[in-house]
Structure 1
Amino acid sequence: MRKKILSALLLITVLFGQLSIVSIGSSMDETIADMEAQEAETKEKISDLEKQTKETQDAINELNEQKQQTQNNVSSLQDQKSDLQDTVDDYSDKLDTLSAEIADTESAMAEVSAQIVELNAKLQETEALRKERYESLKKRMQMIYERGGEESLLMILFDAKSLKDFLTLYEYINDVVVYDQTKIAEYQALVDSIAAQVAEIELKEAELNEYQASLDEKHGELADLTDTVMGQLSSTNSALSSERSKLDDYEKQLSELDEKMKSLESQTAAAQAELAKQIAERLALTKEDTSGSYAASASELEWLAATIQAEAGGESYTGKLAVGSVIMNRVKSSAFPNDIVSVITQNMQFASYRSGKVELIIANGPNSTCIQAAQEVLDGARVGDYLFFMTQYWADYYGISEYTMIGNHAFFYRWVTNKKSDGGGSSEESAPGDPAPQEAAPAENPPEEAQPEQAQPEETTPPDAAPPEEAPQETPPEDSGGDAGSE
């Protein structure tokens, strides 16, 4: 009977134990599911912030292009304005020259006009003399005509009483005829001379008038050109003012977008830090197995070898294996992407990829040592279960409390910081990929001279500057958060 009772009690105890285990396991699953749901919400928020950041950056780039084009327009308009001003000045000089020529012409015309007036006065006197002589000649001709004309003069010769008388009368008649002819010739010459002078003056005056008309035409043409250029100059000044106003507007918009970008970066950093904490809390509940081989393509092998060379090309072979181990541990971890290229190119992770060094090495081909190290890791070789690495300086700066030095890099699994660290870290444990929670970020950039020297800096990526006061320098990506520790 006692045995039956003991057996029953034992059975009841086992049943209750199993029920407790099932209950605990169920509770754990629910907790992890809730954590993953929170992580998904945070990732979605980060994704939306990154989308806004990209849109803002695109807007900044577009505005910068428009600003550059406007600056080019301003420069072109300033050159055009200078050319137009030179043209206006040149036209002004020509107008001054023409004005002087016109003044000289007007003076010459005034002199000619005075000469014409004087000649007209003389002409009037000559005309009066002509009329007087004309009347005299008219009367003489009338008298001669009344006496029978020239024949009557000849009749006088018949009145001669002697040869001497005849010769005297003949000489008298001859003198009269010569006198009359001379006076008529003088009269005709005077009339012809006056007519010639008047014609010459009229010709000269016509030439002066023609020259004046030509000068007036040129003056008018230059005046029109000046007005045209002045209009172009005014239009250019107006366009220049408009373009400069655009520049001021672009500057204002760019300033606003810069402020928006800073705000988005701050919000993204805060969300990434929150995601890091969420992942840290979830990973703290379990220990993932990241060992094992990986069937990589030729392209993945090349990417892995190139990243190893970019991060640890100057390190020992063990250091190369350690960098490869971090990458493959991440591939195997649920907190990171599950393929090599996605891990390496994950946002805000490997600085050597962000700088373009990895792709440059791929273009030239990784060296054989790094290819061998990559293949070893792919075949399952691991140097620890590390998910992060950075230089010892930065590990101490951030206050990482547990790390292992391999070559020039500090390797660790979880980001556990010390409250007393120089970097302002706390004793909280951060998730893989998060360099430090937001509140653990240092307030100022550490001095450049304080950074430790690298054994071979040409082969390793130098650390980024320390993060700003409001957010950690290395911000976590959508899937996990945090830098690979290439710094």
Structure 2
Amino acid sequence: MRKQILSALIIITVLFTELSFASKGSSMDDTIASMQEEEAKTQEKISDLEKQTQETQNAIDELNEQKEQTQNNVSSLQDQKSQLQDTVDDYSDKLETLSAQITETESAMAEVSAQIIALNEDLQAAETLRKERYESLKKRMQMTYERGGDESLLLILFDSKSLQDFLTKYEYINDIVAYDRMKMEEYQALVDSIAAQIAEIEEKEAELDEYQTQLDEKHEELADLTDTVMGQLSSTNSTLSSERSKLDDYDKQLSDLDEKMKSLESQTAAAQAELAKQIAERLALTKEDTSGSYSASASELEWLAATIQAEAGGESYTGKLAVGSVIMNRVKSSAFPNDIVSVITQTNQFASYRSGKVELIISAGPNSTCIQAAQEVLGGARVGDYLFFMTQYWADYYGISEYTMIGNHAFFYRWVTNKKSEEQSTPDTSTSEQSEPADNTQDSGSQDALPEDNAAPEAIPEDNGEGDGGSEGDGQEGSGDGENTQ
């Protein structure tokens, strides 16, 4: 009877224990499911922020292209303006030269005009003299004709009373005839001289008139050209002003977009940090075994060694092993991709990859120390079960309470924060700049451990479809930019 009671009690105890474990298991599953749901919401928020960030970046790129084109237009218009101004100045100089030539021509024409007036006066006097001589010659001829012309002269000779009287009269008659001939010749010479002077003056005046006409045409042509170029210059100035106004508008739009980008980056960083915290808390409930070796290809070994060198090139060998351990722990964790390259290249993870440093080291070949460290962690060696690392500065900034310092990096598995500092360490998503502690711990390696600006670090990549998303890969480690948590 006692045995039966004891058996019944044992059965009841076993059933109760199984029910208790089942209840606890169910409760744990519900908790994890709830946490995953929150993580999904945060991831959705991050995806939306990243989409907005990409759209904003596209808008910035497009505006920068338009701004560059407008700047090229401004430069071209400035050159065109300079050339037009040089042309206007050149035309102005030519107009001044022509004006001076016209003035000289007008002065010469005035002088010629005065000469013409004087010659006309002389011509009038000569004409008067010509008329007088003409009348005198006409009268003499008339008298000679009335007296019989040449016959009367012959009669005078025939009336001579002696040879002496004949010779005297003959000489007299010859003198009269010679005088009349001379006067006729003088008259004719005077007429010819006056005609020649008039012809010369008219020719010179016509020549000057032609020169004046040419100068006037040249002056008018240059004036028209100047007006045309001035119109082009005015149009160029107007277009230049419009293009410069566009530049100002582009600068204003780019400034607004830059502020929006900073705000989106800040919000994304805060959401990623929150997701990192959520995942770390969930993983802490059901801690995974991330130990063991990994069969890596030659390419994966190179990627791992290059990332260790990029992240901990200036650290001790233990520091290098610790960075390699984080990468391999992630490979083994269900919350991250299950291969080395995918872990390293996961969105918004290792800044050394995003900056191109990892691939640069790959092209040159990782150093032997980092290759050795990579081989060690691939063989199963681990320096802790850490899934995250960052500089001590950022660990304190976020208020991480449980971390282990290895070199200048703070390594941790769980994202546990000090309640007192949690509010202070949470980035302000309403602005693009975050407050920072006064002391800035820096990496002892070849790179600075802190970012130059105060932007809060990014924390979590997109869900890779295999787990629940991972925490940030490198933000505050000693890789040089310290933008992301590890």
With the shorter chain as reference, the TM-score category is 0.7 to 0.9
Match 1:476 to one of 446, 453, 460 = 460
Q: Do 2:344 and 2:473's aligned partners in 1 also have CA atoms closer than 8 Å?
A: no
Paired AA for residue 463 in structure 1: L
The 8 Å contact of residues 280 and 413 in structure 2, kept in 1 or not, is answered as no
- SS of the residue corresponding to residue 216 of structure 1 reads helix
Question: Once the 2 structures are TM-superposed, how far is the Cα of residue 439 of structure 1 from its aligned partner?
Answer: 7.2
Aligned ranges 1:30-41 → 2 under 5 Å: 30-41=30-41
> 1:223 matched to which residue of 2?
223
Distance 2:61 2:134 in 1: 104
> In 1, distance between residues paired with 2:38 and 2:98?
88
Residues 477 and 318 (structure 1 numbering): CA distance in 2 closer, same or farther, change over 3 Å?
A: same
Q: Which letter maps to 2:471?
A: G
Query: How far off its partner does 1:393 sit?
Result: 4.7
Corresponding residue of 1:259: 259
Structure 2 CA distance for partners of 1:277 and 1:253, relative to 1, 3 Å: same
Pair 1:463-2:450 in alignment: yes
Measured at CA, do residues 442 and 330 of structure 1 come closer, stay the same or move farther in structure 2, by a change above 3 Å?
farther
1:348 corresponds in structure 2 to 348
Unaligned runs of 5+ in 2: 463-468, 479-486
Segment of structure 1 superposing worse, 376-385 or 403-412: 403-412
In the alignment, is the contact (CA less than 8 A) between 2:408 and 2:442 conserved in 1?
no
| Partner in structure 1 of residue 270 of structure 2 | 270
Provide the residue aligned with 1:401 in structure 2.
401
Asked whether the 8 Å contact 2:442–2:449 carries over to 1, the reply is: no
| Structure 1 residue 290, shift from structure 2 partner | 0.8
Alignment of 1:128 onto 2:109: no
Superposition CA RMSD, Å: 2.7
- Paired with 2:248 and 2:21, the residues of 1 have a C-alpha distance of 70
Whether the 8 Å contact between 2:393 and 2:441 is mirrored in structure 1 is yes
* CA distance in structure 1 between the partners assigned to 2:454 and 2:202 by the alignment: 97
More deviation, 1-10/24-33: 1-10
**What is the alpha-carbon distance in structure 2 between the residues aligned to residue 294 and residue 437 of structure 1?**
37
In structure 1, runs of 5+ residues without a counterpart are 428-435
| Cα distance in 1 for residues equivalent to 2:427 and 2:240 | 48
Alignment of 1:334-413 (within 5 A): 334-413=334-413
Query: Aligned residue for 1:236?
Result: 236
Q: Is the 8 A contact 2:390 2:477 kept in 1?
A: yes
Q: Deviations over 1:242-301 (max 9, x none)?
A: 111101110121122122212322332332233234323322321111112222222211
What is the CA–CA distance in structure 2 between the aligned matches of 1:314 and 1:16, rounded to whole Å? 57
Q: What do residues 1-52 of structure 1 show as CA deviations (whole Å, max 9, x unaligned)? A: 5544543444344334323323332332233233323322321221221122
Q: Percent identity?
A: 78
Between 1:3-12 and 1:352-361, the stretch displaced more is 3-12
Residue 435 of structure 2 corresponds to residue 444 of structure 1: yes
Which structure 2 residues correspond to residues 45-444 of structure 1 after superposition, within 5 A?
45-419=45-419, 424-425=421-422, 437-438=426-427, 444=435
Under a length normalisation based on structure 2, what TM-score does the superposition of the two structures give? 0.88
Contact 1:310 1:461 (8 Å CA) reproduced: no
* Residues 401 and 418 in structure 1, CA contact (< 8 A), matched pair in contact too: yes
CA contact (8 A) 2:273 2:457 kept: no
Q: Which amino acid aligns with 2:85?
A: Q
Contact in 2 for aligned 1:417/1:426 (Cα 8 Å):
no
Q: 1:326: how far off?
A: 0.7
**Residues 184/438 of structure 1: CA separation in 2 closer, same or farther (3 Å cut):** closer
Higher mean alpha-carbon deviation, 261-270 vs 288-297, is at 261-270
8 A contact 1:88–1:230 mirrored in 2: yes
Report SS of the residue matched to 1:389.
Answer: strand
| Cα distance in 1, alignment partners of residues 416 and 433 from structure 2 | 16
Summarize the Cα distance change of 1:366–1:259 in structure 2 as closer, same or farther, 3 Å threshold: same
8 Å Cα contact 1:465-1:473 kept in structure 2 = no
- 1:180 CA drift (Å): 0.8
Q: Is the 8 A contact 2:275 2:459 kept in 1?
A: no
Cα pair distance change 1:466/1:332, threshold 3 Å: farther
Match of 1:27, SS state, is: helix
Residue-pair matches, total: 469
